[in-house]
Amino acid sequence: MRKAAVAAVAAAAAVGVALLVRRQVREAKRWGRAAAVLRDLEERCAAPPARLRQVADAVAVEMHAGLASEGGSKLGMIISYVDSLPSGQEKGLFYALDLGGTNFRVLRVQLGGKEGRVVKQECEEISIPTHLMTGSSHELFDFIAAALAKFVASEGEDFHLPEGRQRELGFTFSFPVKQSSIASGTLIKWTKGFSIDGTVGEDVVAELSRALDCQGLDMKVTALVNDTIGTLAGGRYDDNDVVAAVILGTGTNAAYVERANAIPKWHGLLPKSGDMVSVIASS
C-alpha cells in the first residue's frame, strides 16, 4: 500500500510538472510572438539620422513654399505681423486674455524692467458656459468682457498704471485667423467645440473691443497672437537666445523668428528689426 501511495504521488507530481512545463512553453511562445511584433514595430518606427535629415529637408522645402505664396504648401505658413519680441526690459502694467478652449484666462502683470523683471502677477481662469459656445458672437464676447471688467476692478495697489495711460491688452486667440495687422484678424473657422457662424469672416479684435466698450472698460487691444507666439514671447522674455516655440496639443503648431526679407509673400515695408515671427500651422 505504501509503495502504491508513493507511486501515485510521484505520478501526480509528474503530471503537475508536465502541465507546468506545457504552460510555460505556451507562454514562451506567446511572449516570443509579442517580442517579434515589438521588433517589427521598432524597425518600422526607427528614426536613424539619415531618415531624420530627409524629414527635416522635406519640412524645409514645404516651409519655403509656404513663405513664397498662399496655399503653396502643405504647411500653413502664417505671417504674424509680430516683428519684435520681449527683451526683458519692459516696464509697466499689462493685461492678457487667453481664449483657446472651453476655459479662458485673464492675467495682469507688473513688469519692472531688467532689474525688477516680473514684480507681481495675478491670473484667473473662467469656464465658458456650454450654450455660449454655440450661441451668438455678441453673447460670447459680452461674457468675456464682463469677466475681464470684474477682474480689472479687483486691481490692487501693487499694480500701477501711469496717470492718463490706457490699459493695454494682449489677446491670445488660438483659433484659425487671417491676420491683417498686429491688432486685427478675421476668423476663418471655429474649432474645439465652438460653432458660432456670426463670427466667421469678422474681425475678432473689433468684436472684443465692442464688448469692452459696452462694459465701459478703457482698455485697448494692442496685439492679437496665437498660443505659439505667446509661448515664443514668454521664452524670449526669459532668454534672448530663444528663437522658436512648439505647441503639442489638439494640433501641432510652431512659431519661429524668420528674416522678413526671406518671406516673398510679405508685401509690406520691411520692419526695422528685420525680423518677422512666422507660424507653422499643420492643423
- Please tell me the distance from the alpha carbon of residue 217 to that of residue 153, in angstroms, as a whole number: 10
Here the cell at position 58 is 522635406
Cβ contact 67:259 at 8 Å: no
Residues 6+ apart with CB under 8 A from 104: 97, 98, 125, 126, 128, 144, 147
Q: Which of 61, 78, 68, 63 is nearest to 265 (CA)?
A: 68
- Please tell me the distance from the alpha carbon of residue 233 to that of residue 113, in angstroms, as a whole number: 16
Burial class (CB in 10 A: 0-12, 13-18, 19+), 244: middle
Cβ contact 151:104 at 8 Å: no
Active site members: 192, 227
